[in-house]
Structure 1
Amino acid sequence: MKGDQKLIDCLNARLAEELAAINQYFVHAEMCENWNYERLGDVIEKRAITEMRHAEKLIERILFLEGRPIVSNLSEIRIGDQVPKMHDHDHWAEEGAIKGYNQAIRLATELGDNDTKVLLESILKEETEHIDWIEAQMDQINQIGVQNYLAQQIYE
C-alpha cells in the first residue's frame, strides 16, 4: 500500500529517535552495571529493548507503506556521567519522543491512516510509561537523596 510521503518521513523521524534511544539506554545500562547498580541497569536495559521493538514496528510500517526505512540517521544522544544526569537525559529523550509521537498521530489522523495511528498510539502509551518511571526516579532522588537512592540500586 503506497503511503503518504509526509507520513513516511515522519515515521523515519520517529525511527531516528528510537535508534538514538536504544544506544543511549544501552550505554546508560552498561554504565550502571559497571558501577554495580545492577537493579537500575536491568531496568534501563529493558527500556532499551522496548525501544528496539518500537524501531522494529516503525520499520515494518514504513515498509508496508512502500517507504524506505532510514536506519543510518540518529537523533541526538546524550550520555550522563552520573545517575541523576542519566535520568535527566533519558527524560529529555522521552519528552522528545512523546512530542514526536503526538505529532505523528495528528498527521496519521489527518491523512485517514487509522492503522498507523493505532500503532503510534500504542508506542506513545509505552513512552508515557517510560517518562513516568523516570520522573518517579527523579522524585526519589529529590526526596531521599542520591546516596540513599543509589544504595537501593545494588543487588545484595
Structure 2
Amino acid sequence: MRGDPTIIAELNGLLAYEMLAADQYFVHAHVYEDMGFFRLYERIKHEQEEELEHAQKLIRRILFLGGTPDLGTRQTPTLAADVPAMFKADLDMEMKVVSELRRVMALAEEKRDYVTRDTLLSLLDDTEEDHVYWLEQQLRLIDAMGIQNYLQSQMDGSVSE
C-alpha cells in the first residue's frame, strides 16, 4: 500500500523518539544496576524493551505504507548521574513523546489514516498509563519518603549474569 508521504515522515520522527527512549532507558538501567538498585534496573530494562516494541510497531506501519524506516536519525539521550535526575530526564522525554503522538494522531485523523491513528493510540495509552504514570509515581514517592528511604527500597533482589 502506498501511504501518505507526510504520515510516513511523521512516523519516522516518532521512530526516532522511540529509539531515543530505548537508548536512554538502556543506559539508565545499567547505571541503576551498577549502583546496586536492582529493582530499578529491572523496571527500566522492561521500559527499554517496551520502547523497542513501540519502535517495532512503527517500523511495521512505515513498511506497510511503503516507506523506509529511518534508524539513522538519532537524538542524543539525556543522561543523569542520580536517581531523581534520571527519573526527571525520562519523564521529560516521555512527555515530549506524548505530545508528538497526539500531534501525529491528529494528522493521521485529518488524512483519514485511521489505522495509523489507532496504532499510535495504543502507543499513547502505553506511554501515558504506564511510563509517565510510573515515573511520576516514583518522583512522588521520593518526595514522600525521602531519597534515602526510597533508594533503600530499590536495593532488594539481584541481577543474574
- Structure 1 length as normaliser, TM-score? 0.98
The one-letter code sitting in structure 1 at the alignment partner of 2:111 is L
1:52 is paired with a residue whose SS is helix
Stretches of structure 1 lacking an aligned partner (at least 5 in a row):
none
| C-alpha displacement of 1:155 | 1.1
Q: Deviations over 1:6-36 (max 9, x none)?
A: 1111100000000011010010000001111
Q: Size of the alignment, in residue pairs?
A: 156
Match of 2:68 in 1: 68
- CA-atom RMSD, angstroms? 0.8
Partner of 1:111: 111
For residues 12-67 of structure 1, give each alpha carbon's deviation from its aligned partner in whole angstroms, at most 9, with x where no partner exists: 00000000110100100000011110001100000000000000110010010001
**Amino acid paired to 1:29:** A
Q: Partner amino acid for 2:153?
A: Q
1:19 maps to 19
**CA deviation after TM superposition for structure 1 residue 76, in Å:** 3.6
Aligned residue type for 1:110: E
Q: Runs (4+) of structure 1 moved beyond 4 Å?
A: none
Give the TM-score taking structure 2 as reference length.
Answer: 0.95
Counterpart position of 2:138: 137
Percent identity for Structure 1 against Structure 2 = 37
Cα shift at 1:74: 1.4
Match runs of 1:6-155 below 5 Å: 6-128=6-128, 129-155=130-156
Distance across 1 between alignment mates of 2:95 and 2:8: 21
Give the gaps of 5 or more residues in structure 2: none
